Each structure stands twice: as structure tokens, then as C-alpha cells.
Amino acid sequence: MAARLITGPRIIGGLLLLALAIAVYFAVRQAPVPVEVGEVSRGPLLISVEDEGETRVANLYIVSAPMTGQLRRVPLKPGDPVIAGRTVLARIQPIQPEPLSSRRYAETLATIRALTSQQAAIGARADEARARRDLAERELERAETLFRRGFVSKAALERARAERDRALASFSEVREAAEAARFDREAAEAQLITRGQGLGSTDVVAPVNGRIMTVPQESERVVIAGTPLVEIGDPARLEIVTDLPSADAVRIRPGAPVEIDAWGGDRLLRGQVRLIEPYGFRKISALGVEEQRVNVIIALSEPRDAWERLGHGYRVIVRIAVSSKPAVLRVPVSALFRQGEGWSCFAIDADGRAQLMPLTVVAMNDEMAEVRNIDPGLRVILHPSDRVRDGVRVKEQSY
């Protein structure tokens, strides 16, 4: 009877110790870490380069002033249609003469008086030269008559003829000098003209069919030759230009497919690379970094109806395909993280624990990465936090 009483308390004490141990175990045991899970799969992988682009008219004509003059107000507005050889884009008139200062006016009057006196003096010399000419002609007539009658020698006749020729030449010289003096006086008198529109205006006509894109010079003003007046283009012939870093530009080939996004429509547009310009240029990025950039020209593959709301100078986002693989072993990029010089991820083993797995990444885009050294179908942890470590129990959770 005494033995039974002793054994009962022992059993109860053992059960209490077992319950305490179980309670301590559950209290100390770490709860599983909730994680988001992805899967290693096989499928296509498209590697692309993404950057901002800008639409532009394929052939933009900048019409400039052919001469210096007074530009009349340009009546055309952006969007107006123009016809080659018929639509008058602008009209340029001669510039109004400059007003004369008091000093310049007095100098001009003095010059006119001096030229008038010079003209009068040359006129007197012309009268003298005319008299010598007339005398030499009469002397030559008498010498010819006497020579025919045998009263003068041939030498005397030749001297008379030479004297006549000298008189003619002298008169012609003085007459031309008188004309020059008259023109000089008229040029000086023209300096006094302060009003007038000259002899007419010059019309600048459209060189091609299209529409007015911009009118840099709209108001009336004085322009010099070469000043841009209007820009003409055909909005139905748009292309896209994007400047890429030179390291990205060398990876692209003409004809590469392009996706055009964020242009304002409800779907992506398609295009293809038409040209990679061979000349690079230097550009400062928004972060202040100096880069070598290259212009890449993209042609739209969609019909006009799909993008008719686009115009010249609109902003778009372009994604240019660099390479495309139909079936590769791929892992979500959000599962990858750097470990030393390589890449790794956390897979989930059969016991529901995180397993650290180094990977070889071949290529990646914004969503998927082509990898090696991993089995397809394996579940991997997406966006692993600092709580996820090798061997930690995890629990899949949907977000």
C-alpha cells in the first residue's frame, strides 16, 4: 500500500516535467518565416534596352530668309497645309533707309556741293575738248583737199589725221568723266532719302508639300539672310530618335524589333531600328554624369491610324530588343541577390527550409534571368528579407 502511494506522486511529477519541457520547446522554437515563392521554369527570354525617345518628322525642312530685309508678318500658323511652289510662306521687303544725324546730313550736303562743282569743272573741260575736236576735224578736211591738189605732203596729211584722233579721244575721255561726276552726285543725293520701300518685295514659297510645324519668326521685323522663318514637315511620316549610351548602342542591330510605350495610347506600338548613327556625342545626364551617347533612329511599323495622335517632339519610352532566346532555364530576378562576386538565391527544400544556392547568371532582363546550376521546377524565395537564412524554416504566403 505504501509503495503505491509513493509511485503515484512520481508519475504525476514526471508528467509535469514532460509538460514543462514541451512548453519550453514550443516557446523557444522559431516560427516559420512567411515568404513569397516563385518557380524555376523554362521559357523565352527577351533582352532589351529601355530609354526615353522623342518623335520627330522624318524630313523636316527649315526655310530661311534668302536675303536681308524687312520681314512682313507671317500669316501662317502651325498645322496649316502648304503646297510646294505655290504657298507663300513669307514676304521680305527692302529695309527702310536709316535716318541721318545732323553731322551726317551736313557732310552729305557738303559732298553734294563739292561734286556739283566738280561736275561743272568737268563740263567746262568738255566744252574745250569739243572745240579742239571740231577744229581738228576742219584742219583734216583742209589737209585732205590740199593733198588731192598736190599742195601738201602725205606726212602733213597724216599729222592732221593724228591730231584729229587725239582730239576725239580727249573729248570722249572728258565726256565719260562728266558722266561719272553726275553719277557720283546722284549717289550722294541718294543718302538724303529717308523714306520709301525700294523697288519691290521677295516672296518665299514652300519648297515641299506638308504642314507648318513651327513659325520661329512670326512678327514683322528686320531679318538677315539665313534667318529661319518657318519649319515644314509631314506629320504622317514620323520616326523616333533615342540617344543611348554607346555601350548599349553597339549591342543593337538595324532591324531589331522595338516596343513603344508610355506614348499616351492604350496599347504598345511596334517599330524597328532603322539606323544607328555612326557619330557619338557627349551628354550630361540628369545625375550630372558625363556620357558618350549615340542616336538610334526607329521607324514605326504600325499603320498611321494607330498613332495619328502623335506629333513632332512627343515623349515616348522605347524598348529595343538586343537578343531573344525561345527556351532557356530562367529564374525571377526578384529571387536573385549578390553574394561576393556572384549571384545566389534561396530555394525551398522538401522539409520547408531555405537552402542557399549559388547560381551562374547568363543574361537577364527586368523580370527574368537565364541561369545555370539549378533544376527546373524548383521553388525559390522572392524578395528574401534579412530574416531568411540558410536552413531557416519558411512558410509560403500569398501577397
- Co-location of 253 and 133 in the same domain: no
Q: What size, in residues, is the chain?
A: 399
The pLDDT assigned to 255 comes to 93
| Cβ 176 vs Cβ 169: under 8 Å | no
Question: Domain containing 211 — which CATH number?
Answer: 2.40.50
- Please report the pLDDT score of residue 7 as a whole number: 57
**By C-alpha distance, which of 245, 213, 243, 267 is closest to 76?**
213
Q: Are residues 220 and 241 in the same domain?
A: no
Q: Is residue 13 part of a domain?
A: no
Range of the domain at 212: 61-91+199-225
Q: 140 and 111 in one domain?
A: yes
Closest alpha carbon to 76 in 237, 211, 267: 211
Task: Compute the distance between CA of residue 144 and CA of residue 148 in angstroms, rounded to an integer.
Answer: 6
* 179 shares its domain with 309: no
Examine the fold and report which residue of 305, 325, 345 is the final residue of a domain before the chain moves on: 325
Shared-domain flag, residues 268 and 128: no
- Euclidean distance between CA atoms 261 and 323, whole angstroms: 19
pLDDT on residue 257: 93
Q: What is the pLDDT at residue 196?
A: 55
**Co-location of 246 and 300 in the same domain:** yes
Residue 126, domain member (yes or no)? yes
Which residues, including other chains, have CB under 8 Å from residue 26's CB and lie 6 or more apart? none
Instruction: Specify whether 217 is located in the same domain as 272.
Output: no
Say whether 170 sits in a helix, a strand or coil: helix
Q: Both 107 and 155 in a single domain?
A: yes
Distance in angstroms between the alpha carbons of the first and the last residue of the chain: 64
The predicted pLDDT at position 2 comes to 45
Say whether both 184 and 145 belong to one domain. yes
Q: Retrieve residue 100's grid coordinates.
A: 541721318
Of 129, 164, 190, the residue at which a domain comes to its end is 190
Domain membership of residue 5 (yes or no) is no
CATH of the domain at 314: 2.40.30.170
Q: Is residue 241 part of a domain?
A: yes
Query: pLDDT value at position 99?
Result: 73
Q: Residue holding cell 521687303?
A: 93
Structural domains of the chain, count: 3
Assigned domain for 151 exists: yes
User: Both 67 and 213 in a single domain?
Assistant: yes
Same-domain check for residues 131 and 181: yes
**Cβ atoms of 371 and 359 closer than 8 Å:** yes
Predicted model pTM: 0.62
Please indicate, yes or no, if residue 382 is contained in any of the structural domains. Answer: no
Residue 112's pLDDT is what?
83
CA dihedral 141, 147, 150, 155 (to 10 degrees): 140
Question: In 3-state terms, what secondary structure has residue 283?
Answer: strand
Query: Within a domain: residue 358?
Result: no
Tens of pLDDT along the chain (399 residues) come to 444 544 566 677 677 777 676 655 554 456 788 999 999 999 999 889 999 999 999 889 999 999 998 899 999 999 999 999 999 999 998 887 777 778 887 888 888 888 888 888 888 888 888 888 888 888 888 888 888 887 778 887 788 888 888 888 888 888 888 888 888 888 877 777 766 555 578 899 999 999 999 999 889 999 999 999 999 999 889 999 999 999 999 999 999 999 999 999 889 999 999 999 999 999 887 778 888 999 999 999 999 999 988 989 999 999 999 988 888 999 999 999 998 889 999 999 988 899 999 999 998 888 999 998 888 999 999 999 988 999 899 998 865
Q: Are residues 123 and 160 in the same domain?
A: yes
User: Pick from 268, 300, 325: which residue ends a domain?
Assistant: 325
For 23, counting Cβ atoms within 10 Å of its Cβ (0-12 exposed, 13-18 middle, 19+ buried), the class is exposed
Residue 146 lies in a domain: yes
5 burial (CB, 10 Å; 0-12 / 13-18 / 19+) is exposed
Q: What is the pLDDT of residue 30?
A: 62
In sequence order, the 6+-apart residues with CB closer than 8 A to the CB of 317 are: 50, 51, 52, 53, 260, 261, 262, 263
Q: 122: which residues sit within 8 A by CB, 6+ positions away?
A: 174, 177, 178, 181
